[in-house]
Structure 1
C-alpha cells in the first residue's frame, strides 16, 4: 500500500501480520442467508493496461467509470480502457465529477481537472499551477470533494477551496491526515489534536473530537439523527453522537482492527461497504453485522481494497491493490459455488429444517440457513447426486451409488441398486414410495417411520429419471431418447401389470427429449418441439395451449417447475424465465432478467429447485445460481451507448473524435454543431468505435447500427464494437448505434453526424465552373453552330444564289441568248430589213440610175434628133420633151423617197450630218449621202445629173465646208460619221 500518512505507516507492518493471523477467523462472519456470492467481474492490470493500485472511483452521467490509478486517470466505457496522464505523469489519488461533467483529479504534487479538447479528447488542466509559488509546494491530494460550485482539494498540509474562479487556501496550524465532506461540512482530522470541522477559514474542533487524537481516520459517514459513523484505519469503527464516540459493534472491533479499514461507503439500501487492507470487502448491515465478505478467491482476487463506489444499479466498483472488480450487489442472482465451499456442477437442492442441502456431481453439501459457515460435505455422499427430497419426514438422496437416507452425521444406504434417479410417492398409498433407477423401478415401504427397500419391479427395465402419476393412478415414465411409458401397477403395488409406449405415433413430434412435469395440477409432457398433454379419450397427446400460445408451438422446453405461489419457472431452448401469476390469476412472462444466467446453467441435467420460501436455485456448471424474487432491480435506468472514437483511414489512421462532447464549460453527451465535421472526399473511409455503459452479466452486449443515407435498415445484432465504411459518396450522413444488454434492454441511441465533401471535380465551385463552362461551351457551341448555320446558310444561300445565279445566268444566258437570238433575229430582221431597205435603196438608186441613164439616153437621142431635124415644130416639140425629161431627172420626189430609206438604214445620217454641218447645201447633203453609200463618182454624177468632173468639184467644195483635213479621206470620214 502506497498511502503516505505518517500516522498509518508506523503500525502498518505489525497490523498487517496481525491481520494475517486473524484471517482464518473471518470464516465465522461469512454470509448467513440462502444466497451466495454476487456475480463478480474482475479486471487485471494486464487487461486495463495501467497501474495495479486504484485509489478512487467516480461515474459520470453517461455511465463512464473513472478511476484514480497509479498511471493516471483510468476510464472504462464497458468495452475499452483508456488512461489519461496528468502533467507530471504521477499517480492520481482522487477523482470527483461535478454537475457539469468536469472530472476533477488530485495526485502527487498537483490537482486540476480533465476536459475535452476540440476533438473530444480528455486533456488535463492543472489548477495547482495557478497558485502562488508559496502555496504550490504540497505533497499529495488524497481527496477531492464537490459541494455545488465549490471544489475542495485536500492535501496533508493545506486545503484548497476552488470556487471556479479563485482559490481560498486553508492553512491549519497542525498537519492534516484526511478530510471528509459530510452533509456539506468538511470534517478535518488532525492526528495531533483530533477531529474538527471547517468553518470559513478556520477548523473548529467538534465536541469529543480529541478522541481521535493520534488516530488516522478512513471515513466519516452520516447516520440517523445527526449521528456519525467514523471509521479509523487501525482502531475499528465508531459511532459518534453529541461528543461521545463508542464502538459501532464491540464484537467486530478486534476483527476490524486486524483488517485495517481503508474506506467505507454507505449503500442506498442502508448497508455499508467496507474496504479493508487484509480481509477484502465487507458488506455490513445497518447495525454493523457482516452480511457478506469478498476476498481473495471469494468473489474478488485480492485481500486489499482501496476504494469502493456504488453505481445507479446498486452494484459496486471495487478498487483493489492489484486490480479492479465489479460486484453485482444489486442483482437478484448470486453464485453458490466452490468459492463458498460447494464444488461441482449443481443438480438438486432442498431446504429442510433450516438447513440447505445441495447435490452436485461431487456429493451432498449442507449449510445452516442462518449459520455462519460455508457448505460442508455430508459424509458418505461423495459422488454424483441426482435428487434430494423429503418423504414422510425422511430426507432421501438419489445417488449414483444407490438410494441414501440423510441421518446425522452422514448418510446411509437404503438400496445399492446403482443410479437412483428420483423418488415418487404414490396417490392414496402414503406408505409406499416408487424409485426410478438406471434400469427400471423399485418399491419402498414405510416401516416404523423409516423407508425400507421392498423390491425391484419386473417387467420394465428402462431408465426412469423422470416420472409422474396421473389422476387415474397410472405412472408415467419418460425416456430422453425413446419416448413415454404409461405403467399400471398391481393393487398390491408389488408388480407391473401393464406397460404402454407412446411416441411419434401417438401425437409427439418425435420420440426424443420427452419429459413429464406436474404443472397447474396437470401433467405436461415436453418434447423436441412444443409442450403436450395426454387426452385419455383419444389415447394420444395433443398440444398444450398454455405454453404453445406463450412460447410458440416449436420451442423445445427442457424443464418446468411451479412454486407455491403458482409462478411457473421454465428453461427452454429459446427462453428462460418465469410465468409470474398476478392477483387476477393472469400469467405474465418475465424472462429478460434471466438471460444473464443462461450461459452458466448446467447443460447436462437441467434443474430448477424451488425452496420453501419461494427462492429458486438453478443448477449451474459451477454449483448453483440463487435467485431471490424479492429483489427487484431498478430497470427504469436506461444505459447508454456511446460513440467512443471516430476516425478515417486516409493517410494511415487519423482520429477525428475521441468520445467526449463539450458545450462551453460542460461535458455533454450530445453532438454539437462544432463537432459535426465536414471531411474532404479523400477521407471517405470511416470507422466508428462504440461501447455501452452496461456492466452487468459480464457485459454480454450486442449492438445494432446503421448509416443513414447509406444503409436502409439496422444491422443484425452482433458483438462487434467497431464498424467501418469505405468509399462513401459525398453527402450528409448520420451514424446510428444502440446496444442490447444481457437483460434484453435496449440502450438510448447514439448518433454521429458528419459530411463527406465532394471531390474537387464534384464540388459546388467545380459545378459552378462546369456550369459556366457548359454555358460557355453551349454558348460557344451555339455560336459555332450558329456561325456554322449562318455559314451553311450563307453557303446555302450562296449555293442557292449561285444556283439562282446559275439559273439567272442560265435564264439570263437563255434570256441573253433569247435576247441575242431576238436581237440576232431582230438584227437579222433589221439587217434583212436593212438589206431589204438597202436592196430597196439600191434598187431605188439603181432604178434612179437606170431611169436617169435611160432618160439621159433618151434626152441624148432627142438632142441628136433635134440636131438633125430642122423642122421647127418638131424641134420645138423635141425641145419641150427634153425640158420635161430634165425636169423629171431633177425632181425631188425621188430624193425624198430615197432619203427616207437612207436615213433608216444609216441612222438618220442626213439629219445628223446636216445638224453637224448646217451650212451644207441640199446638193452637198445628197453628195454626202451618196458618198455614204459608197457610190462611185460616175454613179453620183448620174444621180446628180452632173458630170463626173462636177462631182469631183462638188467633193472638193464639200471637203472645204466640213473643214476636213487634207490627210483624211472624205469618204472614210462620211462612212464613220
Structure 2
C-alpha cells in the first residue's frame, strides 16, 4: 500500500507541476527566471513541491462535507446492519448484511441468503470472481450457475468434524489462491483444495491481513503473526494483550498503526507503542473505534461507534467528520470500503452510505450551519465569510467548527468583497461593513447589489442598488455614504468600468446602459442605452464580466464585446469559437492563474490555461453539480487560493482544483436479467452473471440460448455501475437484426421486445453518466427458433405431403385421362371412319374442282398471254406496215426529185430503213411472251435444230402462231415470195418429209 500511495503522490505532483510554475511566475516576476525554474525543477523539486503537494493531496481546510448518498433498509429491503463490503471487477458491490449477501448494481438491490439463513458477517472476493462469505456457523462462496444466478457453496462442510463447530466467521482475507476464514476460536486456511486449521490455546480477538501477513490478536498473549501452524507474538505485541483491536494497518517505515476499540489508536515501531495523536486520543476513546481503513491518498478513514466517520491525516489530525445529521444518517459505523474512484462505502448500524471522498466537490450547507441559498463569499485572511438568502456567516479557515452568523446581518446577502480596508456586503437591508463577527449598515437605502471602485478615483466607490447608483467616499480609511446619484434609477446588480472610465450597467430584461459620470462624480452626465439595435440578439439576460482584462457581455445567444469604433457589440473572439454563437452563458470568473470558469445553458466547466497560453476545456467533472446550483441568482466566487465556491440551492458547493484528478472509473453497463414472456408464464433466462469455466467474466462467452417461438417476447433489465447520489445515468440500446439505430438516451432500465420473428439477435446496451462518460457496449446474443409449423422438419413434411398429394392427384388424373382417352379414341375412330368416307368423296370432288379451276386458270393465263402476244404481233405488223409505207413514199419522192444531193440523201435513208426495219427490240419482247405461251418453243426448237438461223427461228415462231404468208412477209420485211422461199429452206434444214405440212409440224412440236 505504501508503494501505491507513493506512486499516487508522485503522479499528482507531476500533473500539477505546470500550475505550480504558473503560480510562481505570478508571484516572482522580477527574479524568477526560466533558468531558475529549470534549476528548481531539477535540484530542489522535492523541497519545493513537498509542501504544496502535501497540502493539495490533503483535503482543503475550506472544504465542506463530501457528497453523500444514504441508503436506508427500506431502500435495499434487508437487515439494518451491514458488516463488510467488497466490489467486483464488474463494478458490483456486495455487502454482508443481517439478512444475507446484498448485491447492488447501481440501480437494483438483490439479497442472497446462506444455506441456513443466518446473518452474513464478512465478505471478500477473489480474482476469479468468487464471493466468499462468512456467517454464523458456516462459510463458503457464491458463484453463478449456468444461467448466471448466484448459488451458494458451503466450504465449512469440508472441515474435519472436530473443527466444524465454530461460532461466526467475522473476517475473510484473500492472498492470491489462499483464503483465510477467521473466527474467534480458529483460523481456517483454504488453498482451493484442502484446509489447514490454526487453533491457538487462548481465544482469538480479531485478525488482520497486512502486506500479505496475517496479524492475529490473541487473548492473554497480545498481537502476533501467523507462521505455519502457530501464532508468534511480535515485538511489542504484548502491550495489546487482553485488549480488543479494531484494526492493524501499515503506516510507514515498518511502522504499524494499531487501533483499539476503546483505548485509542497507537503507532507500533521497534516494539514501542505510542499514541498516534495525543490530542485526538480522548475523542477516539469516547467514540469507540469499530473499524479503520487507509485510503489511497494517504489519509485514514475511521468508523466509530458513537461519532460516525472520521477522516484523519497521516499525522492523525482530524480532516472531516461525518455523523448523524452531518453527511450520513447514523453515528455507528461498522465497516468501510474504498472503491476504484476513491469514494468510500460506509456500512452502518442502521443503513449504508456512499461518501464521495474522491470528488473535488464538497457541500457547505445547513449541515454545517449554513442555511439558505448561496449567493456570495469572501476569504479574508483566515476567515471565510459566506452570504446566503438568510444572512452572512463566518468561520476560521482552519477551524473544524460550524459556521456562525455575523451579528446584524440576517436577511439576503448578495455580495461580499474587500474594498480598501473594509469588507463590504451588499444586502437586501442595505450596504453593510463587516468587521470580525459584526456587521454595520452604511446606508439606509434598501437593496444593495454590488460595489465598484473607480480606477482613476481610488477614494470613491460606486454602489449598485435596486434603484440606481450610490456614491461612497473614503474617510479616515473607511467608506462613508456620500450621496445617491441622480439621472439613473434602474436596478444595477451587475456593473463594470471600461478603460475610458464609463460605467456599464446591465439589466436582466431591459438591456445594457453606458453611464458617463460628471467629472466631479456628483452626478450622471450621460446615459446611453444598448440593445438589439446595437448588436445584441435581444434585450434579455445581458450581463457584463471582466475577463482577460476586457469586458465581456453575455446574452441569450453568445458572448459579445464592445467595438468602440462602430459603437456596436460584436461576437467575442474567445468564447464564440469555443462554445458557438448560440450558447447562453450565465456567469464567468477568471482565477489568478488565468483559468476561466463559466456556467452556461449547455456547459459548465473551466478553460484551463497551460504554460503556453493555450486553453483546454474541462467540463465532465462539473456535470454532477449542475442540478444543485442556485438558479435564482447564479454566483461563482474564486477565493484567494484559487479554490471555487458555486452558489447552490442549499448553501455552497466547494471545488478544490488541487484535488487529485479523479480515477478513471470502472464504469460499465451490465445486463442484469433477461426474461422471456409467454401467455402462460414468465421465465428468467439469464440472472446477470457471465461465467467462463470457473471464473466470472465480463463477456458472454459461448452461451447462446435458443428460445422456442412461443417465448418470442424478451425483456431486458440493465444497470450502470455508477453510485453517486446524482449519477442519473441514461441508457441507449438497440436489438441487432430488429433495429438499425441506437435508441434515444433515456433513464429507463428495462426494454421489452414482443412478437419477434425467428432468427439470431444481439441486444446492445450502453450507459452515459452525469460526467458525460459513455460505458463500453454490453451485448447479449440469443436465437429464436421457428415455430413447429415453420421448422425444418415441418417444411420437410410439407414437401413430402405435397409430393404425395401431387403424385396421387397425378395418378388419379392420369387414370381418368386414360379411360376417357380410350373412350374418346373409340368414338373418334368411328367418327374418323365416317369422316374418312365423307372426306374421300369430298376429296375426290375437291380434286376434280381443283383440276377444273387449275385448268381454267391456265386457260385464262394462256388466253391472256396469247392476247398479249397477238397485241405485240399486231403492233409489229402495224409498225412494219407503217415503215414500209414511209419507205414507199420516200421511193416515190426519190423518183420525182431531180436534185442529186437530195436524191443521194433519200437513197441513204431508204437503205437504212431496209437494213433496220426489223432490227429493233420488239422481237425480244415478242419472243419472251411467245416462249411462255408455247412452252419455250424457241429454245426447244433451236436445241433440236441447231443449224437454224435467227430469221428461220422467227419464221418458225410466226408459223406456230398460224400467221399467213402476207403477215409473215410484213413482220420479216420481205416479200411474199421471199416467205415461200424461206419456208422451203426451213423444211430442208429440219429435213421435213415433203408429204408433211410444215405448219402442222411446227404447231405440234
* Mapped contact 1:276–1:304 kept (Cα < 8 A): yes
Q: Does 1:292 align with 2:320?
A: yes
CA distance in 2, matches of 1:527, 1:794: 102
CA distance in 2, matches of 1:752, 1:123: 22
Question: For the structure 1 residues 797 and 230, does the alpha-carbon distance in structure 2 shift closer, same or farther, using more than 3 Å as the test?
Answer: farther
> Equivalent residue for 1:871?
none
Determine the C-alpha separation between the residues in 2 that align with 1:363 and 1:799: 123
**Match for residue 472 of structure 1 among 483, 497, 500:** 500
Map 1:233-312 to 2 at 5 A.
233-312=261-340
> 1:791 & 1:425 partners in 2: Cα distance?
123
RMSD of equivalent CA atoms: 2.1
- Partners of 2:476 and 2:621 in 1: CA distance: 47
1:640 to 656, 661, 668: 668
> Counterpart in 2 of 1:655?
684
Aligned residues: 788
Deviation for aligned residue 1:776: 4.2
Kindly report which structure 2 residues correspond to 1:347-746, keeping only aligned pairs within 5 A, or say none.
347-650=375-678, 651-674=680-703, 676-746=704-774
For residue 415 of structure 1, give the secondary structure of its aligned residue in structure 2. Answer: coil
TM-aligned CA distance change 1:809 to 1:60, over 3 Å: farther
Aligned-partner Cα distance in 2 for 1:376–1:115: 54
2:227 equivalent in structure 1: 199
- TM-score, length-normalised on structure 1? 0.78
2:243 maps to which of 215, 226, 235? 215
Contact 1:31–1:293 under 8 Å retained in 2: no
Check if 1:760 corresponds to 2:788.
yes
1:16 matched residue in structure 2:
none
Quote the offset at 1:511 in angstroms.
1.2
- Rounded Cα–Cα distance in structure 2 between residues aligned with 1:73 and 1:588: 45
For 1:427 and 1:811, locate their aligned partners in 2 and report how far apart those are by CA, in whole Å. Answer: 136
SS in structure 2 of the partner of residue 532 of structure 1:
strand
The Cα of 1:769 is off from its aligned counterpart by: 2.1
On the 8 A contact 1:191/1:214 being kept in 2, the answer is yes
C-alpha deviation, 1:309, in angstroms: 0.2
- Structure 2 Cα separation of the partners of residues 792 and 606 of structure 1: 102
Change (3 A) 1:320 1:814: same
Inter-CA distance 476–199: structure 2 relative to 1 (3 Å threshold): same
Deviation, structure 1 residue 790:
6.9
CA distance in 1, matches of 2:571, 2:827: 98
Between stretches 662-671 and 145-154, larger displacement belongs to 662-671
Following the alignment from structure 1 to structure 2, what is the Cα–Cα distance between the partners of residues 802 and 462? 124
Match of 2:920 in 1: none
Contact map agreement 2:543 2:555 (CA 8 A) in 1: yes
Instruction: Give 1:813 deviation, angstroms.
Output: 8.5
Shift in Å at residue 800 of structure 1?
6.3
Larger radius of gyration: 1
What is the CA distance between 1:636 and its match in structure 2? 3.2
Does the 8 Å CA contact 1:697/1:742 hold for their aligned counterparts?
no
| Per-residue deviation, 1:48 | 0.4
Q: Deviations over 1:474-524 (max 9, x none)?
A: 111111011111111000111001111111222212111111111121111
Q: Out of 53-62 and 181-190, give the one that drifted further.
A: 181-190
Q: Secondary structure at the match of 1:696?
A: coil
Verify the 8 A CA contact 2:624 2:727 in the aligned structure 1: no
In 2: Cα distance, 1:446 partner to 1:808 partner: 146
Kindly state the Cα deviation for residue 789 of structure 1 after the two structures are TM-superposed: 7.5
SS at match of 2:836: helix
CA 1:635/1:220 → structure 2, altered by over 3 Å: closer, same or farther? closer
**Secondary structure at 1:699 match in 2:** coil
1:380/1:763 CA distance change after superposition, 3 Å? same
Match of 1:472, SS? coil
- Higher mean alpha-carbon deviation, 142-151 vs 186-195, is at 186-195
SS at match of 1:594: helix
For 1:500 and 1:287, how far apart are their aligned partners in 2?
A: 61
Report the alpha carbon displacement of residue 655 of structure 1 after superposing the two structures with TM: 1.0
Task: Show the counterpart of 1:912.
Answer: none
Residues 349 and 387, structure 1, Cα contact 8 Å, conserved in 2: yes
Answer yes or no: is the 8 Å Cα contact 1:57–1:95 preserved in 2: yes
Counterpart secondary structure, 1:545? coil
Q: Does 1:332 align with 2:356?
A: no
Aligned partner of 2:981 in structure 1 is none
- Quote the offset at 1:667 in angstroms: 1.4
Q: Deviations over 1:503-556 (max 9, x none)?
A: 122221211111111112111111122222222222222222322222221111
Give the unaligned 5+ runs of structure 2: 1-57, 847-1005
Q: Give 1:298 shift.
A: 0.9
Contact (CA 8 Å) 1:31, 1:290: kept in 2 or not? no
Q: In 2 relative to 1, CA 784–616 (structure 1 residues): closer, same or farther, beyond 3 Å?
A: farther
Q: Which residue of 2 aligns with 1:11?
A: none
SS of equivalent residue, structure 2 residue 280: helix
Give the distance between the partners of 1:589 and 1:443, measured in 2 at CA. Answer: 40
Separation in structure 2 between the aligned mates of residue 321 and residue 486 of structure 1, nearest angstrom: 62
What per-residue deviation string (whole Å, max 9, x for no partner) do you get for residues 335-387 of structure 1?
Answer: 01111121111001111112111100111111111223221111111110000
C-alpha separation in 1, matches of 2:843 and 2:583: 111
Partner of 1:322: 350
In 2: Cα distance, 1:795 partner to 1:486 partner: 118
Question: What's the offset of the Cα at 1:132?
Answer: 2.6
